Chains A and B, each alone.
Chain A
């Protein structure tokens, strides 16, 4: 536990870092991954875990996400995706589905959403999984598995937003949404992340999609530095 550092950004999930009896840090909006990169590079013995939301990680923090994944910096990024900016009152964000209603897309969202597992895989993550909040035990197992791996790991957790997003779109209570997950989610491990469908109404493909190995950034830095110091 002394090696764990839990880092969060801003949003509904932002306060998550405060729930751990571990070293933890609550950054500004979008910057959790950049902070975690600093932590990991400065002290590679530490195990950073970033917990944040879809808006934080993929809109304002999107650049940090793709570059940390590209570098393959060792960290686990857990994204709680509720399809909107919940904490600020339910505005549309980078994962808001086509035509969905939010307070800043009152006539239906015309933007195309990110498929987060696809972004993560394309950016170079070595482990990519998606579960819904209902898959609590499978999610726990994926987290355990990801923590054993070295590199940039990404797990998306589809989560209800009963007070805002689900209400605006008339999906019912949190319980209704969770029941919907049970009905429409399918587990398809090693599906091509590009094809890992995510449709709130019809089908959510869950599972572990990517589990691969490649050299990790701080290991490469250390190797290079060791080589240079011997000169």
Chain B
């Protein structure tokens, strides 16, 4: 098997290297890739969309349809993880740890044992629980809002600097994950429930696709943000810019929701009780 794999790998590599021999030299300004389609984007981005960040304008406008489905890909992954992992039937065959807040005693409930009532006195803790370092907990709690704020900046400023919906969304998601790691999964779920996360997934994609549909309803092609000019009372170019912002926000929300949802499912193997 190994030898066979090696042969295949070497053959592929040989073929690929053979193909490189007719490549234009690296970073050649005259190469077809740099001269055929891309100059149009560079030269027209301002007059078409009034967005100086060409990557953003290509991503969200010229090739906005691609990006919409990119969001769908990530949405699919979120739903797929939920579909694969989520345990909907509770199987109470594992022991659990509970913390009695009043006395500070930690109780171990054996498999199948009676669970304490839902009250303020008991709090569930992870079975492989190690006391959290207070420093980490507090620090993380402090920086999470700032991370999120930065993420909003990244989303909103995608027109002018590197950034955009994906990056911003991931940063918000990462902030939630940081919170979940530094506390525990249940704490995170208390703040952003599973349904909420799923709702964010759908809502984000809905904003994107909905913007597209709105353009369609306003009489232009799907995702042709120029149509938004009619309801934004601006010229089509500015409308494009706003359209891009709208879809970036949608992307951000969707990515955030998906990242959090995938984390919830992966870290607890779908049980949503004990995470990392």
- Please determine whether chains A and B interact with each other in the same assembly: no
Interface residues in chain B, defined as those with a beta carbon under 8 Å from any beta carbon in chain A: none
